[in-house]
Structure 1
Amino acid sequence: MNAEIKFKKKRSKREIILNTATQLFIQESYIAVGIDRIITESTIAKVTFYKHFSSKEELVFNCLKELKLDIQIAVEEHISELTPPLEKLEQLYIWYINWVNQNGAKGCPFHKARMDVEDLYPSIQVLLDEYRYWLFNIIISILKELELNNPRTLANLFLVILDGIINSSVSEKFLIKPEKTWDYIKTLIEQQRNQK
């Protein structure tokens, strides 16, 4: 008899709170979701919540910190095996759009945090900036592999297009089709290549 024993890693109360809060913030907003709701949906005691987080600001900070790390690992793993730089950029773009789409056209949690609570919770600004800086640097390093004349300008344009597409999907409540929009970005890159 070959019995397979599966052990489930028990998540800590802190992880449960972070996961619940992150999902609620993504699906709704950082302002609308209160601590009492997070406690209820996490099925933990209020004292347990405050044992791990002294305030909602600390919770939002930690949610964004974990999310940033998860995204960095996922993106870097996703594109690490790819060789051609254009393929890396396309896969980064498609991964990012699919990630936003999986949230039901609710937008990017980092954009949302900047809009919702950056002024209210100043401690998160450093995480929002780090995230944006990391994304910009990944894009620019790939564009440099393409040996373009002005990769910095193109990286900024790439981010503006990405932001615009995401914001448009939120306001119009539609999922983004990454393959179609990628064609526009690819055309811009090819134009840059032809100007060398």
Structure 2
Amino acid sequence: MKNLGASFRALHVLHIASDLFKQYGFHKVGVDRIISETKISKATFYNYFHSKERLIEMCLLLQKDTLMEKVRVEIETTHYSNFAHKLRQIYLLHANLKSAYYLLFKAIFEIKTSYPTAYQTAIRYRRWIKNEIFC
């Protein structure tokens, strides 16, 4: 059960960090701010994530997985709708600034040079959505 508690704490950190990154940007939110907001120790932070880049990557992966599931649901539940309707629903998922896509979108512009490994997560999502829609 100890690992389960650790998993919940790590997930809590991911959610708080994602919110901070959305609100203030990737470069203006440091590890100390995340530690302060989540009330975990620095040792716990580095035990879970090893680095700020790894935390960013995990935040983006969480957002990517959430959004991919929502897109799949839209595609499958609107099975009898026309292509234009499906495309509109997918667009609406991406246009909402409170959606899972916002952090991925923000990453494309903010982290390419400073966090290249995490940046690749956003790029992989863009490739996936393009293939999902057009292939």
Equivalent residues of 2:63, 2:104 under 8 A apart: no
Post-superposition CA distance 1:53-86 (Å, at most 9, x none): 1110111111111110111001211331112222
Partner residue of 1:32 out of 28, 31, 49: 28
Report how many residues are paired: 128
Partner residue of 1:64 out of 54, 60, 63: 60
Q: TM-score of the superposition, structure 1-length normalised?
A: 0.60
Structure 1, gaps ≥5 residues long: 1-8, 142-196
User: 2:135 aligned with 1:138, yes or no?
Assistant: no
User: What is the CA-CA distance between 1:89 and the residue it aligns to?
Assistant: 0.9
Higher relative contact order (CA 8 A, sep 6+): 2
Partner residue of 1:124 out of 115, 118, 130: 118
In the aligned structure 1, how far is the partner of 2:92 from the partner of 2:118? Answer: 27
Q: TM-score of the superposition, structure 2-length normalised?
A: 0.84
More helix by share: 2
| Structure 1 segment 174-185 matched on structure 2, within 5 A | none
1:13 maps to what in 2?
Answer: 9
In the aligned structure 2, how far is the partner of 1:73 from the partner of 1:53? Answer: 24
AA of the residue aligned to 1:13: R
AA of the residue aligned to 1:123: T
Stretches of 4+ aligned residues off by more than 2 angstroms? none
- SS of the residue corresponding to residue 123 of structure 2 reads helix
In the aligned structure 2, how far is the partner of 1:125 from the partner of 1:94? Answer: 23
1:179 maps to what in 2?
Answer: none
